[in-house]
Amino acid sequence: MQSLSGVLASSTLSKSLQEVLTVTTNTCIDISSTLKKGSLAGILGMAGNENVQGEEQKKLDVISNDMLKSALLAIPEVRAIASEEEEDIVPAHTNGEYLIAFDPLDGSSNIDINSMVGTIFSIYSKTGNQPATEQDFLIAGNQQVAAGYVLYGPSTMLVFTTGSGVAMYTLDVDKSEFILTQESVSVPKDTQEFAINVSNQRFWSENIQNYTHDLIAGKEGPREKNFNMRWVAAMVGDVHRIMCRGGIFIYPWDKKDPSKAGKLRLMYEANPMAMLVEQSGGKAYTHTQRILDIEPTGIHQRVAVILGAANEVDKCLSY
Ligand code: AHG
Ligand code: MN
Ligand code: MN
């Protein structure tokens, strides 16, 4: 059984990238143990509320953000971070070699029902010796040097890629370390399982309405096979299911707020998940283009997401 530290040490990755990955994943182990304490740690509830000691409660997204932010800003390898919970980028060391974008806690609506949540991260390298600006982060996802997520489920799992396949690690809680449990993750090209929030159906474009209509028509419809539907309500959980047993995940554009290109965020949700899915043989598109080829215009930019089984993504895009 190989530990993450052993795998990293025997890899060809630079020591500096190893350090960024180690600090990121170790912080996720700390987030995991905070989550496991649940109500006992007085961490549930909304920010702004007071706990029984009269102290202000912080939402777990804020706690997770503070943990990742302070751990990453403390190491010299980091030039800057961008986070869902930070309006602006946070510059760190002018000669740091890496930019890290993260969603500290994905699926926050699941926190108070003790269901799956996760942390998603995306890492870019940065040359030069300048204070970081937002512009530095506006790089297409195809330039990511590493991407991954940690899923806080019944077990805590780390799934990440550095551009040559995807590996899964399971947290050994007693040793506080991630152990390699699956290499060469592969997403089957075909599937009979989809994930989409159907409550938004009336707001979707006609092509997504027609596509899902045909999925639901099953064996009797034009697809001539039955489909199953699953929705974790945390992208990290839905993508993890796809990494484990295949499927397609869709969060399309909808006309609830036509000015928004989608709900999910490009830099710390769509891009890292797209890299993982592609590295596993799947596809990740908006309704018009490959996600990893999008030239970002802002760190909190939203995009439509259609990802998973390659043939099913093609099928969806053909509507
Ligand atoms: P976050 O908790 O980081 O804001 O992200 C939630 C996202 C994503 O994880 C999930 O796929 C989606 O929101 C769920 O949205 P619905 O409210 O439509 O279920
Ligand atoms: Mn999220
Ligand atoms: Mn979040």
Q: What is the CATH number of the domain that holds 303?
A: 3.40.190.80
Residue with CA nearest ligand 1 atom 15 = 233
User: Total structural domains in the chain?
Assistant: 2
Looking at residue 128, which CATH number applies to its domain? 3.30.540.10
Residue 43: per-residue pLDDT = 56
Closest ligand 1 atom to Cα of 84: 3
Collect residues with CB below 5 Å from ion ligand 2. 103, 106
Q: How far, in Å, from the CA of 123 to the mean position of ligand 3?
A: 17
The reply to whether 188 falls in a domain is: no
Atom of ligand 1 nearest to the CA of 199: 18
115 lines ligand 1 (CB under 6 A): no
The answer on 153 and 13 residing in a single domain is: yes
Q: What is the pTM of this model?
A: 0.95
Domain assignment present for 60 = yes
**Residues 175, 247 share a domain:** no
Domain range spanning residue 117? 4-182
Q: Whose CA is closest to 16, among 107, 145, 128, 205? A: 145
The verdict on 59 and 160 lying in the same domain is: yes
In a domain, 187, yes or no: no
Q: Are residues 307 and 220 in the same domain?
A: yes
15 with 119, same domain? yes
The domain boundary, picked from 149, 182, 215, lies at 182
On whether both 167 and 285 belong to a single domain, the answer is no
Q: What is the pLDDT along the chain (319 residues), one digit of tens a residue?
A: 899 999 999 999 999 999 999 999 999 999 999 999 876 766 555 555 554 444 455 688 899 999 999 999 999 999 999 999 999 999 999 999 999 999 999 998 898 899 999 999 999 999 999 999 999 999 999 999 999 999 999 999 999 999 999 999 999 999 999 999 999 999 999 999 999 999 999 999 999 999 999 999 999 999 999 999 999 999 999 999 999 999 999 999 999 988 899 999 999 999 999 999 999 999 999 999 999 999 999 999 999 999 999 999 999 999 9
Q: Is residue 31 part of a domain?
A: yes
Interacting residues of 138 by C-beta distance below 8 A, sequence separation 6+: 295, 296, 297, 298, 299
pLDDT at 49: 52
Q: Which residue has the tokens 């909808």?
A: 254
Do 202 and 105 fall into the same domain?
A: no
Residue nearest atom 3 in ligand 1 by C-alpha distance? 106
